Amino acid sequence: MGRIAGVTAAETRERLLDAAAEVFAERGYDGTRVADIAAAAGVSNGALYAHFGSKAELLVTALRAHGPRLLADLFAADPDRSITDLLLVIGRRLPRRRDARGFLIVEALVAARRDEDVARPMRDYVGERSDWLAELVRIAQNDGELDPTLSPDALAHFCLLLAMGSALVPAGLHGVDDAEWSTLLTRVVAGLAPADDTTAQSGAP
């Protein structure tokens, strides 16, 4: 039960997550039925429920699998790169988000406001991302990149608001000049540097 002939359980699960990401992004959470996802994956409803207990679980699991992971990927590819540089690279890309799957976060956030079954796993998901970002902030503070008096949790929350807000206000609704956006981000990150570094950058004695 739950497998496609000749396909492993893990492959079937991955196929279901791919289908869920596509269908949720296209139709929204409320407009999607479990049967729609099962049909898109080429499995029965029973096979889907062998892997996922509910539509809410499937939404958040699809978000974990297919949501934005660019920062984590960049950090893994170049762990010696400065945290502030990584934040700038990601920040510059936010206004240009194009991947429909990246908007799964919008569907999950909207659904969480109305459905406690979605809200519970979403609190865990957002909390995990916030904790991960806060730990990066602490690393940057220990390395002297960021002001050690700043709250890692507050800065992580700020980054989450920027990232999630970029999904809520995509370029198709409102655009911004790339150079102007980059200049603003550079100024913001410079303002997060330790006080001595900021003074040095300003040229003050």
Q: Structural domain boundaries of the chain?
A: 9-54, 67-202
User: Does residue 198 carry a pLDDT above 50?
Assistant: no
The pLDDT score that the predictor gives to residue 93 is 84
The pLDDT score that the predictor gives to residue 100 is 63
Q: 50 is written with which tokens?
A: 């062998």
Q: What is the spatial distance between Cα 88 and Cα 169, in angstroms, rounded to a whole number?
A: 19
56 confidence band (pLDDT: 50, 70, 90): very high
The percent of residues in the chain predicted with pLDDT above 70, rounded, is 86
3-state helix, strand, coil in the chain (%, to 5): 75, 0, 25
Q: What is the DSSP letter of 32?
A: -
Which of 120, 123, 121 has the alpha carbon at shortest distance from 131?
A: 123
Kindly report, residue by residue over 105-160, the tens digit of the pLDDT.
Answer: 888 999 999 999 999 999 999 999 999 999 999 999 999 999 999 999 999 999 99
Q: Which CATH number fits domain 9-54: 1.10.600.10, 3.90.1150.10, 1.10.10.60, 1.10.1760.20?
A: 1.10.10.60
Q: 67-202 belongs to which CATH class?
A: mainly alpha
Topology alike, domains 9-54 and 67-202: no
> In whole angstroms, what separates CA 199 from the centre of its chain?
34
Q: Tell me what the pLDDT averaged over the chain comes to.
A: 86
pTM of structure: 0.80
201 confidence band (pLDDT: 50, 70, 90): very low
